[in-house]
């Protein structure tokens, strides 16, 4: 990776930290500790299940919101505020800028997820008093959540490269919601006929298949995740993010800055 | 080898939503800036100065033409390590301090890590920001941001610098400091290309200037050539408030200001005017040819352009 990409990524990370993005951790900690205390009092034998479900879902949602809200402004804000002028007048390629921004945002989310994961494990320890071997499956769920973030980051950047922040947010959120039901969409496409079938199948495979990444519920029940799914999700997320990022680069390479 | 060669660079935007129509921002521009000179790019607001600079920086793409900077294609990313750019009314990452921002820009421009911090400190001193350590840019005034902007443009010791309205937002002292800085850059062999509509700055600083209006180059030349005595008149100044009748008869244009009188007479009547003052025993203070100021030249060029445009329409 070129040094310039690393510098742009570091600056993106620093900007997010200084814009108090990591303050969401406080809200997360409050939510989780409150939930842990509450379920400890009201549930019988399902405290662990509730904490894992709630904790991992919160990790995912907090991260998605951050990815979208930062991601949509990564390029458009720089164009709007003209901070890009002093970047692109240096020996920085446009694609390096996009890739650097992507890694900066992804890095922010990984660090954020790391701290949230500590919170999840702490809450788990509070309600269960000990860890068991199946708790290690939580790492798989966290890994899938990070893969989801990579896709969302790349999509937010793609939209940000040609659209306004508001529209980018609408597009990214819509894709996240539709993508969460991608499996159902594929099933529906299978039932359709003729041109509708072609269109529905195309749309179903075009939207990111986030449903394949959601293993929170099965992990909360202690069910293992197959190696095949881990491999599939890894390849899928990396390819999807790479394609979306290439689209962002392609658009940005040809864009006149106002 | 010229520092900058602009070879027919042009830009047309398509405007309108449903019925797109072309809007010419820059007509084919041909311009050469020699190595080591301070070159002023003059024009009223909306003339095409910023468009030209944005094209040269690769921020927008031309409709036609090209350019060479230091003998290489202007699109070559590596050439950018040798150029510095100050955009008009610059805005920077306001979560950073001036030191952090320049450090970051130094990294992107390939300033070696060893000595980078010292270089940042030197540049901040040079632009008059001595005591801003730990202060985020969001707390900087417009003038201070302008200084940071100039600092980032010269940080990596570029061979050519492009300044878009560098005096904008600066107080008289700040403007003077920037002028001095540009002189220093010239002495160090740096080519300075700057756009401005403040003609006194251009007149004081530039070796050559170009005038652009409505996207079209209207004139280019050395400041001395453009401001040379072309009017065939002399300016006579003497002490007192008395205006000799003979001078009035010579057709002199006289103005009393305090205890001096300023008269402009045709060059051919210069001796007669001096004789008239002697006869009246008035004390002559100065006599000098009337020079066309850059402003006169500029206004004349724009007036002619307007007239031509009117006739064409």
Average pLDDT over residues A58-86: 89
| Portion of chain A with pLDDT greater than 90, in percent | 50
Could you tell me which chain A residue has the CA closest to the CA of B74?
A: A89
H helix intervals, B137-229 = 142-154, 172-187, 199-205, 223-226
B270 and B221 part of one domain: no
Give the span between the Cα atoms of A225 and A145, in whole angstroms: 14
Specify the pLDDT at position B41.
Answer: 94
B263 and B215 part of one domain: no
Is residue B295, in this structure, part of any structural domain at all? no
Measured distance between the N- and C-terminal CA atoms of chain A, rounded to whole angstroms: 29
Give the span between the Cα atoms of A209 and A201, in whole angstroms: 13
Average pLDDT over residues B32-37: 95
Is residue B51, in this structure, part of any structural domain at all? yes
B129 and B109 part of one domain: yes
Higher-confidence residue of A33 and B289: namely B289
B149 and B20 part of one domain: yes
Query: In 10 A of CB B174, how many CB atoms?
Result: 18
Contact across the interface for A90 and B105, Cβ inside 8 Å: yes
B309 pLDDT exceeds 80?
Answer: no
What does the pLDDT look like over A136-190, one tens digit per residue?
Answer: 999 999 999 999 999 999 999 999 988 888 999 999 999 999 999 888 888 888 8
| Domain hosting residue B254, numbered range | 233-289
B221 and B240 part of one domain: no
Contact across the interface for A92 and B87, Cβ inside 8 Å: no
B210 CA to chain A: closest CA distance, Å?
23
Going by pLDDT thresholds of 50, 70 and 90, the confidence category of residue A41 is confident
| Domain hosting residue A221, numbered range | 3-253
Is residue A23, in this structure, part of any structural domain at all? yes
Is residue B120, in this structure, part of any structural domain at all? yes
Residue B77: list chain A partners with CB under 8 A.
Answer: 91-93
CA dihedral B185, B186, B192, B194 (to 10 degrees): 90
B67 and B197 part of one domain: yes
Specify the pLDDT at position A100.
Answer: 96
Give the span between the Cα atoms of B294 and B223, in whole angstroms: 7
Specify the pLDDT at position B87.
Answer: 94
Is residue A90, in this structure, part of any structural domain at all? yes
B281 and B253 part of one domain: yes
**What is the domain count for chain B?**
2
Contact across the interface for B60 and A91, Cβ inside 8 Å: no
Which of B50, B52, B61, B108 is the mutation pick for testing A, counting most A CBs within 10 A? B108
B190 and B251 part of one domain: no
Q: Report yes or no: A185 and A178 within 8 Å, Cβ to Cβ.
A: yes
A174 CA to chain B: closest CA distance, Å?
27
Specify the pLDDT at position B77.
Answer: 85
H or E stretch covering B27 = strand B21-33
B53 pLDDT exceeds 80?
Answer: yes
Establish how many alpha carbons lie within 13 A of residue B136's alpha carbon, considering only the half-sphere containing its beta carbon.
Answer: 8
Give the span between the Cα atoms of B106 and B155, in whole angstroms: 7
Is residue B126, in this structure, part of any structural domain at all? yes
**What is the domain count for chain A?**
1
Q: Report yes or no: A179 and A155 within 8 Å, Cβ to Cβ.
A: no
Is residue B307, in this structure, part of any structural domain at all? no
Going by pLDDT thresholds of 50, 70 and 90, the confidence category of residue B152 is very high
Is residue B65, in this structure, part of any structural domain at all? yes
Q: Is B83 on the interface with A (CB under 8 A)?
A: yes
Asked if this assembly's ipTM is beyond 0.90, the reply is no
Higher-confidence residue of B172 and A142: namely A142
C-alpha distances in Å from residue A237, one per residue of A64, A145, B11, B210: 15, 11, 41, 54
Is residue A258, in this structure, part of any structural domain at all? no
Could you tell me which chain B residue has the CA closest to the CA of A77?
A: B93
Mean pLDDT of chain A: 89
Query: Of the candidates A8, A14, A86, which has its C-beta nearest B87's C-beta?
Result: A86
Strands B191-196, B38-42: pairing kind: parallel
Query: Of the candidates B59, B109, B110, which has its C-beta nearest A257's C-beta?
Result: B59
B145 and B204 part of one domain: yes
Going by pLDDT thresholds of 50, 70 and 90, the confidence category of residue B162 is very high
Going by pLDDT thresholds of 50, 70 and 90, the confidence category of residue B296 is confident
Least confident of B16-30, B71-85, B145-159, B215-229: B215-229
Give the span between the Cα atoms of B90 and B145, in whole angstroms: 7
Could you tell me which chain B residue has the CA closest to the CA of A100?
A: B108
DSSP-assigned letter for residue B48: S
Cα A1 to its chain centre, rounded Å, is 22
B246 pLDDT exceeds 80?
Answer: yes
B216 and B263 part of one domain: no
* Residue ending a domain, choose from B201, B226, B251: B226
Query: Of the candidates A7, A18, A19, which has its C-beta nearest B108's C-beta?
Result: A7
What does the pLDDT look like over A226-247, one tens digit per residue?
Answer: 999 999 999 999 999 999 999 9
Mean pLDDT of chain B: 89
H or E stretch covering B238 = strand B233-239
B211 and B282 part of one domain: no
């Amino acid at each position: 990776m070129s040094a310039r990409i690393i510098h742009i990524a570091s600056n993106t990370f620093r900007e997010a930290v200084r814009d108090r993005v990591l303050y969401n951790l406080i809200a997360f900690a409050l939510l989780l500790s409150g939930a842990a205390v509450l379920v400890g009092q009201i549930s019988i034998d399902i405290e662990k299940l509730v904490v894992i479900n709630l904790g991992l879902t919160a990790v995912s949602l907090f991260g998605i919101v951050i990815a979208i809200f930062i991601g949509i402004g990564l390029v458009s804000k720089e164009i709007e505020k003209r901070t890009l002028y002093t970047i692109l007048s240096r020996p920085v390629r446009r694609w390096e800028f996009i890739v650097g921004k992507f890694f900066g945002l992804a890095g922010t989310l990984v660090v954020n997820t790391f701290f949230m994961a500590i919170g999840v494990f702490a809450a788990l320890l509070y309600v269960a008093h000990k860890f068991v071997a199946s708790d290690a499956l939580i790492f798989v769920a966290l890994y899938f959540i990070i893969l989801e973030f990579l896709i969302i980051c790349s999509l937010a950047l793609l939209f940000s490269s040609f659209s306004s922040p508001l529209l980018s947010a609408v597009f990214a959120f819509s894709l996240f919601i539709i993508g969460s039901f991608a499996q159902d969409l594929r099933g529906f496409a299978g039932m359709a006929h003729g041109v509708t079938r072609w269109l529905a199948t195309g749309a179903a495979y075009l939207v990111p298949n986030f449903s394949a990444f959601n293993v929170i519920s099965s992990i909360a029940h202690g069910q293992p995740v197959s190696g095949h799914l881990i491999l599939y999700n890894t390849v899928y997320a990396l390819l999807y993010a790479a394609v979306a990022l290439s689209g962002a680069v392609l658009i940005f390479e040809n864009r006149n800055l106002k | 080898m010229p520092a900058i060669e602009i070879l027919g660079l042009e830009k047309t935007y398509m405007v309108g939503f449903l019925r797109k129509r072309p809007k010419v921002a820059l007509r084919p521009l041909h311009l050469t800036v020699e190595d080591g000179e301070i070159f002023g790019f003059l024009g009223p607001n909306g003339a095409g100065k910023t468009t030209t600079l944005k094209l040269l920086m690769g921020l927008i793409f031309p409709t036609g033409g090209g350019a060479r900077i230091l003998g290489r294609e202007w699109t070559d990313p590596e050439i950018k390590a040798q150029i510095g750019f100050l955009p008009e009314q610059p805005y920077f990452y306001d979560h950073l301090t001036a030191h952090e921002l320049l450090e970051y820009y130094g990294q992107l421009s390939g300033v070696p890590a060893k000595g980078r911090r010292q270089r940042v400190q030197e540049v901040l001193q040079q632009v008059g920001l001595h005591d801003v350590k730990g202060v985020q840019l969001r707390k900087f005034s417009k003038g201070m941001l302008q200084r940071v902007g100039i600092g980032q443009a010269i940080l990596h010791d570029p061979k050519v610098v492009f300044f878009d309205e560098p005096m904008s937002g600066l107080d008289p002292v700040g403007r003077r400091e920037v002028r001095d800085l540009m002189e220093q850059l010239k002495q160090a062999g740096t080519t300075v290309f700057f756009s401005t509509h403040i003609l006194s700055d251009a007149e004081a600083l530039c070796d050559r200037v170009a005038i652009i209006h409505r996207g079209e180059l209207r004139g280019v030349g050395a400041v001395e050539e453009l401001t040379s005595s072309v009017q065939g008149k002399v300016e006579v100044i003497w002490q007192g408030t008395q205006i000799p009748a003979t001078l009035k008869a010579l057709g002199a244009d006289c103005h009393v200001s305090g205890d001096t009188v300023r008269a402009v007479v045709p060059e051919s009547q210069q001796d007669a005017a001096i004789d008239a003052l002697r006869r009246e025993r008035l004390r002559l203070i100065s006599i000098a040819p009337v020079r066309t100021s850059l402003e006169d030249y500029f206004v004349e060029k724009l007036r002619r352009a307007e007239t031509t445009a009117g006739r064409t329409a």
